[in-house]
Amino acid sequence: MPNAPHPDLPSFRLDGRVALITGGTRGLGWEIARTFAAAGAAVIVSSRHEEACLEAAQALRDAGADATGIACHVGHWGEVDQLAAQAEAWRGHVDVLVNNAGMSPLYQNLSEISEELWDKVIGVNLKGPFRLSTLIGEAMRARGSGSIINVSSTGAVRPTHDIVPYAAAKAGLNAMTAGLAEALGPQVRVNCIMPGPFLTDISSHWDHEAFAATSKTFPLRRGGQPQEITGAALYLASDSSSFTTGATISVDGGAQWSQANTGDASHPAGT
């Protein structure tokens, strides 16, 4: 009977699971946090600013979710260790980790990039996700299951002159995704979302006239709305992606295939 309903339709629900989202108080991270909460997850939102974490967690609780906030600068190894320990202790386990925090400071010329700026960009975008993934990932593996989602950028594959340190870090994050998938499997799945230009709070700093012209070269002819990242994140967090690991999924409106130079419009919204 070819038209009969499928008996094993995969579920996108996250009931009983705990999700930790870095850069979770604004932009794409906040949209992911809201979606995971709506799907039944208990949510830990983290960013550098404690007040923002507490406000975001309260907003989720006001909407009926189980949520808490933990401040952490993911570029600092010691703070990442503390975040992992506190997150594990909150409800006794972390089932989903989203490494969303990111940064890409502006600069005029490549030669003006200081060692401090370089180290900061690598620290937040690559070093922190590595340390947090290994700590949380090994705990997941010991329990027998888990999902790690790294948030990269199309800048990793279409780097431009104004995001060189950031693009290098995100390319490393893409490579790390594949390596951790092999290292933590088969119990833990590790995947990556590669966003293109999204119209989050960070886009307020763009040259909107230039972006309007550039976006006309994208297959979808526009930038993304923040909520348009959530379907990919929910898929990778849930059992619906049970045979997906080591994957990098582009959510960019086709921007990476555009012939135009997107510049810093390709930045995702992290913290």
Catalytic center residues: 166
Task: Tell whether the torsion through CA atoms of 169, 175, 179 and 181 is positive or negative.
Answer: positive
**H-run or E-run covering 71:** strand 67-71
- Residues whose CB is less than 8 angstroms from the CB of residue 175 and which lie 6 or more positions away in sequence, other chains included: none
State the Cα torsion 229-230-231-233 to the nearest 10°. 90
| CB neighbourhood size of 105 (10 A) | 13
Q: Partners of 19 in the beta sheet?
A: 43, 96
Alpha helices in the chain (DSSP H): 27-38, 50-62, 77-91, 115-122, 128-143, 164-184, 208-215, 230-237
